[in-house]
A and B are shown apart, each in its own frame.
Chain A
Amino acid sequence: MGLLSKKDAQLITDPLADNNPITIQVLGICSALAITAELKASLVMAISVIFVLGIGNVVISLMRNIIPSKIRIIVQLIVVAALVIIVDLVLKAFAYELSKTLSVFVGLIITNCIIMGRFEAFALGNGPWKSFLDGIGNALGYGVILIIVGFFRELFGSGTLFGIPVLGDPIAKTGLYAIGYENNGFMIMPPMALIVVGIIIWIQRTKNKALIED
């Protein structure tokens, strides 16, 4: 990769798989359970977190030498809160229906452990460029899992993808529904998201034995 040095590229690629914030660090689970019943909501959530974490990391990194360490948590909170309000207002203005589905969970990005975790663990000790890459990488790692979970939950739970019916019409009984297939109501419930995330963790650790803790 010509654009990024090998070390910089790792900042983005590591969180995608072997250091994934959800499946390895097990952070940000609450939102992963709450909003992944629909693929669209998962995607918007992923984009929002990429925006907040990417910019937030840069801002914190720029201020890292002037933040008194006693009040750093408060400063970090203010930065996230400001960015989240921007996201919330943009969603309300341009995608009102979606912002209703996401409801409180957009606001709850503020308390997403991944964001505070990256601020504390990375942005406070690294330059803006590296912090930006780290933020984008971790948010992407979060988003990938969200989209995988959302894909399976929407496909089996509602028989649609991005709201478009792909398995036929359940009421008119076309497609798969004609031969007796039915949507799995359990898939839409949050417990199933936990189980799907669990299965992803299981597959990932079977493929890469180094990830298994004792």
Chain B
Amino acid sequence: MGLKSNLHNLKEKYKGTKMAPAFNAIHTFLYLPNETTHNGTHIKAADDLKRTMNTVIMAMIPCLIFGMFNAGYQHNIAFGTGSAISEGLFSSEFWSLDNLIIGAWKILPILIVSYGVGLAIEILFAIIKKHEVEEGYLVTGMLVPLIVPVDIPLWMLAVAVAFGVVIGKEVFGGTGMNILNPALTIRAFLFFAYPTWMSGDKVWVEGAVKQDQLIAAGENLDAISGETILGSLAQNKEVGYSVMDMFFGFIPGSVGETSTLLILLGGLFLIFTKIGSWRIMLSSVIGALVMGLIFNGVVSSGWITETSKFYGLMSTEFWHHLLIGGFAFGTVFMATDPVTASQTNKGKWIYGFLIGFISILIRVFNPAYPEGVMLAILLMNVFAPTIDHYVVQGNVKQRMKRLKAKTA
């Protein structure tokens, strides 16, 4: 008894009124929906929208927890209160309670703001439009904390979430109707609206911005710098992280995107449960590798020299591009969003390949926007229906030809 029956009573009380969708949403969110069909023949499937969403969230939880540890670790390294990792993946310098607490203290509020604002808007729209609340925001709300810098001010996040949910999704008709990935819309909004909080060498380390402000105010402190690998490469600087660091994720970056290993595990989980498309993930990796190889070729054939401002990123080993920045995270969790991706199998290959290809292109040629994955996925979201259209038309044409050959 308790909460469940109380909620049920509230639901019955408000049945048929304006507020009904709000209580229905909370009820189905916490418990199982109790409206099932009783007669007639129906196709039965074990996975409804909510289960699909929950599977994706499960795939992301390891990234979130790792992100908390990493946020604390980066903070301690930068402020000189912790030491660098000494014994590989299971190093005690990384997996300490201290790190977790610092990270969680910063990341849990981001998570709460993301879900709070997003779900409030979803419920508001459900009440205005008089339809049931859809579970679409469950994944978006989880994605958002993973793709923002740890030091992002919460009010900015709230503004961006409101913008992303309303303009990115609700104006098109809600869950399932959106053209752009809402989580990426939120990130793109933050990126263009508040660039100083989304790039540079401060925001990736908890507390570095505050330190900077104190120094500006005249206090005698050391400036903290925690540049991302992409940021250093774009300025032709040396990168002080080993490949293993990049793969395990002991590097500064957005909260949940640093650990390629955990993203890979999440991706395998999504492929195994048949929720994420392996075609998109694979073709996107191929696209990135091809573009990386082309740039490596340009460097090794001597067309550009070390004085070029593109040298740092162009000369990066082609497969390193898969480990640094948000490429892995975007490919596994964002590009595979079934609503905004291509629907046809052939279309998925083209869509994924172009995402990988354009990501690295933007990354190298536009050092001001080192994170090309976000822009590449948003661009391809827009083109996904066009790709599908031509795939379907191509198929129709082929069949017409066959028909003609048969009847002639």
A residues lining the B interface (CB < 8 Å): 180-182, 184-187, 189, 195, 198, 202
Contacts and interface: CB of A to CB of B under 8 A. Distances in A.
Nearest to A206: B128
Given A180-B153, A180-B155, A186 B192 contact: yes
Contacts of B171: 198, 202
Contact of A185 (B159, B167, B192): B192
Which 4 A-B pairs rank lowest in CB-CB distance, beginning with the nearest? A186-B193, A186-B192, A184-B193, A185-B193
Interface in B180-204: 189, 192-197
Contacts of A202: 171
B189 A186 contact: yes
A27 B301 CA distance: 52
Contacts of A180: 153, 155
B44 to A, nearest CB: 37
Nearest to B166: A199
Contacts of A198: 167, 171
Interface residues of B, number: 13
A177 B121 CA distance: 27
Contacts of B193: 184-187
10 contacts: A180-B153, A182-B156, A182-B194, A182-B196, A184-B159, A184-B193, A185-B193, A186-B192, A189-B192, A202-B171
B167 A195 contact: yes
Contacts of B194: 182, 184-185
Nearest to A202: B171
A182 B193 CA distance: 9
A194 B195 CA distance: 20
B195 A185 contact: yes
Nearest to A182: B194
Nearest to A180: B153
Give the dominant DSSP class at A's interface: helix
Interface of B: 153, 155-156, 159, 167, 171, 189, 192-197
A185 B195 CA distance: 8
Contacts of A189: 192
Nearest to B167: A195
A202 B125 CA distance: 14
B151 to A, nearest CB: 12
A89 to B, nearest CB: 37
B295 to A, nearest CB: 29
Nearest to B190: A186
Contacts of A181: 155
B195 to A, nearest CB: 6
Contacts of A186: 189, 192-193
Nearest to B156: A182
B138 to A, nearest CB: 26
Contacts of A187: 193
B12 to A, nearest CB: 31
A181 B153 CA distance: 10
A182 B197 CA distance: 10
A65 to B, nearest CB: 48
Which of B156, B159, B167, B192: most chain A Cβ within 10 A?
B192
A186 B193 CA distance: 4
Contacts of B153: 180
A21 B380 CA distance: 33
Given A186-B189, A198-B171, 15 more contacts: A180-B153, A180-B155, A181-B155, A182-B194, A182-B197, A184-B159, A184-B193, A185-B192, A185-B194, A186-B193, A187-B193, A189-B192, A195-B167, A198-B167, A202-B171
Which of B153, B193, B195, B197: most chain A Cβ within 10 A?
B193
A180 to B, nearest CB: 6
A195 B171 CA distance: 11
Contacts of A182: 156, 194, 196-197
A22 B197 CA distance: 35
A97 B148 CA distance: 40
A191 B159 CA distance: 17
Contacts of A184: 159, 193-194
A38 B197 CA distance: 24
Nearest to A181: B155
Contacts of B159: 184
A10 B227 CA distance: 62
A177 to B, nearest CB: 12
A24 B242 CA distance: 58
A189 to B, nearest CB: 6
A111 B296 CA distance: 47
A198 to B, nearest CB: 8
A181 B193 CA distance: 12
A59 B173 CA distance: 47
A57 B237 CA distance: 62
A67 B1 CA distance: 85
Contacts of B189: 186
A198 B167 CA distance: 10
Which of B194, B195, B197: most chain A Cβ within 10 A?
B194
Contacts of B167: 195, 198
B157 to A, nearest CB: 12
A181 B194 CA distance: 11
Contacts of B197: 182
